[in-house]
Amino acid sequence: MPTYHFASVIDDYTMNITHVIRGEEWISSTPIHVIIYNYFKWKLPEFIHLPLILDPNQKGKLSKRNILTYNFPIFPIKWYNKKKNNYINGFKEHGFLGDAITNWLFILGYSNPLKEIFYNIEDLIKEFDINKINSVNTILDINKIIWLNKSHINNKSSIELHELCNDLYQLDNNILSPKLIDIIKNRCTLLSDIIDISKSIIIRPNINKNDITFKLWNNDIAIFFKKICNLIERNELDINDLIKFIKINNLNIKNNLIIILRVIITGKSKGPNINDIINFLGKKEIILRIKIALISLE
């Protein structure tokens, strides 16, 4: 241990470190470091000790063990575990934005009289004052960082998100586009959500007649969807008016045809605005997916 303290001071001095910022568990070591600096007659750096981040149960500071306990990352990026010879994904791989993590850490240990939560990097630079750092430990709030990440995703342009997703997941451009991201980003909490929702729209779904959505599928509904295809093909129905047409003509059919249409198109009963999805996919693709469903549900 004495060797460590000696090496730590030598290392900081040779790198011209002016501010040593670390967790409060190092407070007890600071006098030793000051003695070493004084012995060599070197100028002391500023020593700043930060409060600790406690696990959600307040049983101790956040540690590697919490990854398994809470199924939540604690490292910024992927980390190699030598003992188990495997990789543990960090915040980046889970789909968190760097801006959101920085924002989260800022409000986690900072005295904020305005009670603001959302900050971009420019705001943080303007606002930051080292004297306003809290002196008490703070508890990890998983829900807050998830909310912040969703807010930062919504605050970014679709082009920025497209670049971030491509950098992280190295996707085929047929899966993702800025136009599609613009439709879905307000439903996304993580970057991985952008990928998952995009795939559900781009990739044609497998229609399963045992799906609960098709429980009340009958000949009348099949005839109605065949009529829709015919009207669209003859240019007597614009796909932008498709949902309106279904609402008007859904009076004598008990099933919710809009939910059925959504499942036919995306394979899911919930998701982004169905009109936006229809407009994005276009006339030919919508007709094709309805026809595939009609064959599958015969």
- Please give the residue that has the higher pLDDT: either 112 or 218: 218
Asked if 104 and 144 count as a contact pair (C-beta separation under 8 A), the reply is yes
Rounded CA gap, 80 and 87, in Å? 4
Q: Report the candidate in 284, 121, 149, 293 with the shortest Cα–Cα distance to residue 207.
A: 293
Q: How confident is the model over 265-282, as a mean pLDDT?
A: 94
pLDDT at 251: 58
pLDDT at 230 over 90: yes
pLDDT at 100 over 70: yes
H or E element, residue 54: strand 53-54
pLDDT at 130: 84
pLDDT band at 21 (very low <50, low <70, confident <90, very high): very high
- Please give the residue that has the higher pLDDT: either 4 or 250: 4
Query: Could you give the residue numbers annotated as active site?
Result: 64
Domains delineated in the chain: 2-50 (3.40.50.620), 65-145 (1.10.1160.10), 156-202 (no CATH), 212-296 (no CATH)
pLDDT at 13 over 80: yes
Q: Report the candidate in 103, 98, 130, 106 with the shortest Cα–Cα distance to residue 118.
A: 103
* % helix, strand, coil for the chain, step of 5: 55, 10, 35
pLDDT at 284 over 60: yes
pLDDT at 198: 93
Range with the poorest average pLDDT among 1-15, 58-72, 167-181:
58-72
Q: Is the pTM of this model over 0.85?
A: no
pLDDT band at 176 (very low <50, low <70, confident <90, very high): confident
pLDDT at 66: 67
Q: How confident is the model over 66-73, as a mean pLDDT?
A: 69
pLDDT at 69: 67
pLDDT band at 15 (very low <50, low <70, confident <90, very high): very high
